[in-house]
Structure 1
Amino acid sequence: MPEKILIIQTAFLGDLVLSTSFFHAVKMEHKESEIHVVVNLGTESVLDNNPDITKIWCLDKKKIKKNPFAFFQFIQKLRMEKFDKVYSPHFSYRTSLISFFTRAKIRIGYKESGFSFLHTKLVPRPKLGPHEVEKLFALLFEPYDFPMGRERRPYLFPTNEEETSFESKKSKLLKNESGYILIAPSSLWETKRMPEEKFVSVITQILRKREETVILIGSKADTSIQNHIFRLMKTEPLELKERERLLSLVGQTSLKELMVWIQNAKAIISNDSSPIHFASAFNTPTVMVYGATIPAFGYGSLSERHRILEVNGLGCRPCGIHGGRVCPEGHFRCMLDQNPVRIFEALEDVMK
C-alpha cells in the first residue's frame, strides 16, 4: 500500500499558492505516496490539474463555526483515510486538532502553532527573516537541503480552456501589439492598500510614457476601487488614444483565468496581496508596494525580476502580521508617503 500523506493548509489564498512549492517538495520526497490536501472552501480551484496532489478536501469554515457537529463529521471522513503522516503548514488551533484526530502516527507542525503539543514533531517558525517557502520547507528538510531555484516558486497549472479564453478576450480588448501591464490595487486588509490616487498617478505615467495597455485586476468585491480609479482618471491630462489603453478585468475572471493573464503580462504592480504569488509562479516581473506589513514577514515576490517599494523610517511599521482595517496611528504614512514616480521607475527597471 502506498503511504498516505495529509497536508493541512486552510489559510488565505496567497498562502495556499505559496504552499504549492511545498506540496511539490513533499511529492518529490515521497514519489509513490498519495498526497491529500485540506484547503479553505473557495480557494481549491488554484490547485486544479496539480499533478502533485491526489485529492483535495475542502473545509467550509463558515459552516463548522455555525455547526460544530459538521467539524467532527469532516474529521471522521479524514480519519477513515488512515493517513500515515500529516504536515501542518497552517498553525491554527483547528489545524492541530484536525491533525491529531486523523490518528496519523507522524504529525509534523510548528512549535508556535496553537495546541502544538498535539503534534509528534515540532519545527520552529520564526516570525521574521526567512521567506514563507523556507518556513514551509523546514517541515520537510534540514536548512542545508532546502530546494532552490525554480522549486522555490509556486506551481500553478491553467488548462487549455483558460488559455483559449485568454486569447479570445485579449484579441478583443487589446488595440495594439505592445502587450499589457497589470495593476492589482486591492487587498483584503485596508492598510495594505495604496490609495487609489497614487495608483492613478502611476497609471498616468505608464500611459503617457510607455506603449503597453494597462489592465486593472481584482474580484467583484473590488468594483468600488475600480470605479474610483476610473473617476479620478477623468481629470488626468491624457490624450484619447492614451485613455483607451486603460482597461479593467475586475470581477470578470475566475482564479484560473487570472493565472493566464498574470502569466502573459509584461509586468504587474500590486500591493502585498495574492497576485504577487500568482506572478511568482510564472516569474512575471513584479513591483510590490508595502504599507502596514514588511518584507521581513516573508511574503515577498519570488520572481527573478522584482522591486519592493516601502516607506522606511516609520517606527509604527509593521502594525500587524496582516495589516488592519485602519491605521492605528491615524496618519497612514506607510502608504500616503509612497512616491508614484519611484514606483514607475521601479516598473521600468524590472521591465528592462
Structure 2
Amino acid sequence: MKIENRNSFRISRFILLKLPFILRFLAFLRPKHKRLLLIKTDEIGDYILFRNYIAILKQSQKFKDYEIDLLGNTVWRDLVTVYDREYLSAVFFIQADKIYDKPMKCLAIGWQLFKRNYTIVLQPTYSRTLMIDGMAALTAAKTIIGFQSDNERILPKYKRKTDKFYSSKLQLPAHIHFEFERSKYFIERVTGQPADIDKPWLPVKAQRGNYIVLFPGAGYAGREWGTTNFIALAKRILQQTGLSLVIAGGKQDIHHAENMLSELSLERVSSKVAQTTLPELIELIAGAACIITNDTSAVHIAAACNTPVLCIHGVAHYQRFIPYPEHLAANMKFVYTLLPCFNCNWNCIYPLKENETYPCVAINTVDQVWQAFNELIYTQS
C-alpha cells in the first residue's frame, strides 16, 4: 500500500468501505445477467501461476454460459492480449497499490465495474488487500467469493470490515502451500468439478537454443543475490561451457546489465534488459537452454515454457511460490538456505541497511549455485 497523501487516502477509504453499501441498494433495480468478474491484480508471476484456470472456468459446466470479465494488473496487460483474450468478454487494468491516494481513480474504476452488473465476483488471491476487497464490493454483486485470507497485505482493522463484503470465504486446507495448487483448490470449489491441469503452461513457439538467460534483478534490492555473484558465475559458465549468455530484465535492471557487460567478454554475452515486451521475453525464455534468476516472475514463466530453471532465493515465502513441489520440479534447481526464521513474509528479524540483501539470500554462495548449475545441465543433457 503506497500512500503519499493521507487526506486523499481517507476519501479512497470511504469509497472502498462505505460506498458499497449504497450501491447495494441501487443494485436491486438492475436486471440479472450471467456475467462474472474475476479479480487478479497481483504480479506477473502470480498471473502466470493462475492464468490457465481462466479457460477451465470458462469451459466449466457451471459457468460456460457466463460472460467472464477480468480486473487485472496493468503490468501484464500484454499477457492477456496475446494468450487469454479469447476467454474474456471485457478487461480492466489497474495498478492497485498505486491508487490508494487517488480517490477519483478508485471511484471511476468502481463505477465501471458496478455498471457491468455482475452476478458473481471471484477473488482467488489468498492474501487479500483493502483495494481489491473494496473493488469486489463496489460491483454490488450478490455473490462474492474469496479466501478467508491472512493479514499479510491487509490490516486487521480493515479485514474485519471487508470480510463482510464476501458471501463466501473459503478456508484453505493446511496442507496446500504452493500458489498454483491454491488456485486449483479455489477453482475446483467454485466450479464444483475437478480442474484437469497439473502445472502452468504457455503456448510458446521458440525452439530450444544454445544460450542461458540471466536475471540479476529481482524488483527489490533486498532479494537480489548480487551482481558480483552473477559475474563470478557467468565467468565460470563462459570458461567451462560453449553456451552464450543473455542478460534480461526491466528498466530497473539496466545498471546490473552495464556492470556485468563491463566485466565479461562481449563475444558471448549480450543484454536484452529493457528491450523486450513481455510476450517477447517469454519467447526468449522459451528458447533458452536454461535460465538463472533470483526470485522473479522468470521462474514461473520458465516453468510454464518447460525451460530448465536455476533459482537463487530466500525463504520468506517458503513453499508458497518457490521452491516448486518435487512433482513439478524435474527440470528445476532451487538454491536456498532454510534459516530458522523462514516464512517471515519479508519482515526480516535482522537489522538491514538500505538496499542490503536479505541474509537468507546473501548466504547462498557461488559454489552452491555452480554445483546446482552442473546438476541441472547434466540432467538435461
What TM-score bracket applies, with the shorter chain setting the length?
Answer: 0.7 to 0.9
Cα distance in structure 1, aligned partners of 2:320 and 2:347 = 10
Say which of 318, 331, 334 aligns to 1:295: 318
Q: 1:230 offset after TM fit, Å?
A: 2.6
The TM-score, its normalising length taken from structure 1, stands at 0.81
Say which of 338, 341, 346 aligns to 2:367: 341
State the partner residue of 2:290. Answer: 267
The TM-score, its normalising length taken from structure 2, stands at 0.76
- Given the superposition, is the C-alpha separation of residues 295 and 62 from structure 1 closer, same or farther in structure 2, using an over 3 Å criterion? closer
CA contact (8 A) 2:214 2:246 kept: yes
Instruction: Name which of structure 1's ranges 287-296 and 320-329 shifts more when overlaid on structure 2.
Output: 320-329
Q: 1:271 offset after TM fit, Å?
A: 0.8
Cα distance in structure 1, aligned partners of 2:209 and 2:295 = 27
State the partner residue of 1:246. Answer: 269
Where do 1:1-352 residues align within 5 Å?
3-29=34-60, 30-49=63-82, 50=84, 51-61=86-96, 64-90=99-125, 91-112=128-149, 114=159, 115-125=162-172, 130-142=177-189, 147=195, 149-150=197-198, 152-155=199-202, 179-233=210-264, 243-291=266-314, 293-301=316-324, 302=328, 304-312=330-338, 314-321=339-346, 327=352, 332-351=358-377, 352=380
RMSD: 3.2
Cα distance in structure 1, aligned partners of 2:301 and 2:97 = 26
Q: 1:220 offset after TM fit, Å?
A: 1.4
CA contact (8 A) 1:183 1:269 kept: yes
Q: 1:129 offset after TM fit, Å?
A: 5.2
Q: 1:19 offset after TM fit, Å?
A: 1.9
Deviations, residues 61-83 of structure 1 (Å, cap 9, x unaligned): 47743431331221111112111
Cα distance in structure 2, aligned partners of 1:148 and 1:253 = 33
Q: 1:257 offset after TM fit, Å?
A: 0.7
- Given the superposition, is the C-alpha separation of residues 256 and 340 from structure 1 closer, same or farther in structure 2, using an over 3 Å criterion? same
CA contact (8 A) 2:317 2:345 kept: no
- SS for the counterpart of 2:65 is coil
- Given the superposition, is the C-alpha separation of residues 111 and 292 from structure 1 closer, same or farther in structure 2, using an over 3 Å criterion? same
CA contact (8 A) 1:7 1:38 kept: yes
Deviations, residues 153-192 of structure 1 (Å, cap 9, x unaligned): 044x56xxxx7xx89xxxxxxxxx9611111111122221
Cα distance in structure 2, aligned partners of 1:285 and 1:3 = 42
Amino acid in structure 2 at the alignment position of 1:282: C
- Given the superposition, is the C-alpha separation of residues 275 and 323 from structure 1 closer, same or farther in structure 2, using an over 3 Å criterion? farther
- How many residue pairs match? The answer is 326
State the partner residue of 1:171. Answer: none
- Given the superposition, is the C-alpha separation of residues 284 and 201 from structure 1 closer, same or farther in structure 2, using an over 3 Å criterion? same
Give unpaired runs (5+ residues) of structure 1: 168-176, 234-239
- SS for the counterpart of 1:103 is coil
Give unpaired runs (5+ residues) of structure 2: 1-31, 151-158
Q: 1:205 offset after TM fit, Å?
A: 1.5
- Given the superposition, is the C-alpha separation of residues 331 and 54 from structure 1 closer, same or farther in structure 2, using an over 3 Å criterion? closer
Cα distance in structure 1, aligned partners of 2:39 and 2:271 = 35
Cα distance in structure 1, aligned partners of 2:222 and 2:319 = 17
Cα distance in structure 2, aligned partners of 1:332 and 1:86 = 38
CA contact (8 A) 1:297 1:321 kept: no
CA contact (8 A) 1:293 1:321 kept: yes
Cα distance in structure 2, aligned partners of 1:182 and 1:268 = 5
